[in-house]
């Protein structure tokens, strides 16, 4: 429905119970367009949803309720044609607002819960919404600080694998030059990923736990302690695996 004055599309203004023109400010009381507007479910739904959204401390559940009300209002049937368009536009905008608000609330939850990485991701999807951009900056600063604090530890984690490899290879009497080249190459990769953090670091830790320690232990047992290959295998791989398995089942 458009303004008779300037032909701009009118906006439903529930606070004032009317239609207002964003162009010239013309105001039409809703009762003029639709005398029985108080009995129209769609309008009631939008009104209720608006009230929910105006709450300062709105939570995820209430946002979900508001979204449902807007969705109901979108399925208009009983409305006169000129109001239908207005209500649908309003409901669609409301649904968009709810989607952003949901993301915003859970992003703030992640942030206060200490999951800065996740908070940053969520705020990034709604960077123009409310004070998201301020939170994005806060998250970045926090993450940078965390990275600096973890740097020495990550450097040590990255060293474990090449050192383990060095011990294993020299136990197997691999020549010095290839030994150094292999360890440098592996070391460069593990250092890179563990200092960079995130998923790569997790992979490095898992690989180190799974391979580096058993192999080193096997090499030490076989070549330094001079146990039989079978016994070394048993001690290096099967016993730790059995212990881990036992611990895991104890946990349950």
Q: Which residues contribute to the site for Zn ion (CB under 5 A)?
A: 3, 5-6, 8, 21, 23-24, 26
User: Would you say 10 or 40 has its CB closer to Zn ion?
Assistant: 10
Q: Which of 30, 49 has the CB closer to Zn ion?
A: 30
Of the pair 5, 38, the CB lying nearest Zn ion is at 5
**Residue 134 burial (C-beta neighbours within 10 Å; 0-12, 13-18, 19+):** exposed
Minimum CB separation of residue 7 from Zn ion in Å reads 7
Report the alpha-carbon distance of residue 42 to residue 98 in Å, rounded. Answer: 17
Minimum CB distance to Zn ion, residue 103 (Å) = 34
Choose among 166, 200, 164: nearest CA to 181: 166
Nearer to Zn ion, 27 or 192 (CB): 27
For 106-122, letters b (16+ CB in 10 Å) and e give: ebbebbeeeebebbbeb
The nearest distance, CB 89 to Zn ion, in angstroms, is: 16
In the complex with Zn ion, the residue whose CB is nearer, 10 or 165, is 10
Q: Tokens 């559940």 appear where?
A: 61
* Residue among 3 and 73 whose Cβ is closer to Zn ion: 3
Assigned token pair, 203: 């992979």
- The nearest distance, CB 87 to Zn ion, in angstroms, is 19
CB of 30 to Zn ion, least distance (A): 16
Q: How far is the C-alpha of 132 from the C-alpha of 124, rounded, in Å?
A: 8
C-alpha distances out from residue 188 to 54, 183, 191, 207, Å: 54, 8, 5, 15
* Residue 115 C-beta: closest distance to Zn ion, Å: 48
State whether residue 192 is helix, strand or coil. Answer: helix
């Amino acid at each position: 429905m458009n303004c008779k004055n300037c032909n701009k599309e009118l906006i439903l203004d529930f606070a004032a119970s009317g239609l207002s023109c964003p162009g010239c400010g013309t105001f039409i009381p809703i009762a003029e367009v639709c005398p029985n507007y108080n009995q129209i479910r769609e309008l009631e739904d939008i009104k209720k949803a608006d009230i929910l959204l105006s709450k300062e401390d709105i939570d995820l559940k209430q946002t979900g309720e508001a979204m449902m009300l807007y969705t109901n209002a979108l399925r208009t049937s009983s409305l006169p044609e000129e109001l239908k368009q207005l209500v649908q536009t309003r409901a669609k905008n409301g649904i968009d607002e709810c989607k952003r608000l949901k993301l915003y609330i859970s992003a703030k939850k992640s942030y206060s819960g200490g999951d800065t990485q996740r908070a940053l991701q969520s705020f990034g999807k709604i960077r123009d919404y409310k004070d998201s951009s301020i939170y994005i900056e806060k998250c970045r600063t926090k993450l940078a600080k965390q990275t600096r604090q973890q740097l020495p530890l990550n450097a040590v984690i990255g060293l474990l694998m090449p050192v383990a490899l060095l011990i294993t290879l020299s136990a197997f009497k691999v020549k010095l030059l290839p030994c150094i080249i292999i360890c440098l190459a592996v070391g460069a990769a593990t250092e890179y990923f563990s200092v960079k953090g995130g998923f790569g670091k997790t992979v490095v830790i898992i690989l180190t736990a799974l391979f580096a320690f058993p192999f080193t232990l096997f090499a030490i047992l076989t070549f330094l302690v001079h146990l039989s290959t079978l016994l070394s295998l048993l001690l290096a791989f099967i016993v730790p695996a059995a212990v881990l398995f036992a611990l895991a089942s104890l946990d349950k």
